[in-house]
Amino acid sequence: GENVEQHPSTLSVQEGDSAVIKCTYSDSASNYFPWYKQELGKGPQLIIDIRSNVGEKKDQRIAVTLNKTAKHFSLHITETQPEDSAVYFCAAHYNFGNEKLTFGTGTRLTIIP
């Protein structure tokens, strides 16, 4: 099965600076890597995703990069704002014999005004 490790578990960043969260996965057969943002009292919400045939994807201030050789992918948030404060989860879809989605353990991001 798949195993996803996420670092760091907590991250504090000055408003306006960039934040980077990293995840590694164990199985080279994984082919889909979403990132979810969870605000207090709410369910996770997809913010960006990437598939294994793409190396980088960007959506305004958010970008995700994928290194298949090293089996890791990263979330980059530029020009951080107070509303970026939340818990972020990465996940990996293991495309072989089941339809499970494996999540990382989460990163609590705090933006310091």
> How far are the Cα atoms of 26, 43, 79, 93, 96 from residue 19, in angstroms, in the given order?
24, 22, 9, 24, 33
Sole window of 11-19, 60-68, 72-80, 99-107 interacting with another protein (rule: CB under 8 A): 99-107
Please, what is the minimum distance in Å from the beta carbon of residue 98 to another protein?
Answer: 7
Residue 61 binds to another protein (criterion: CB under 8 A): no
Size of site (CB under 8 A) for another protein: 28
Residue 44 binds to another protein (criterion: CB under 8 A): yes
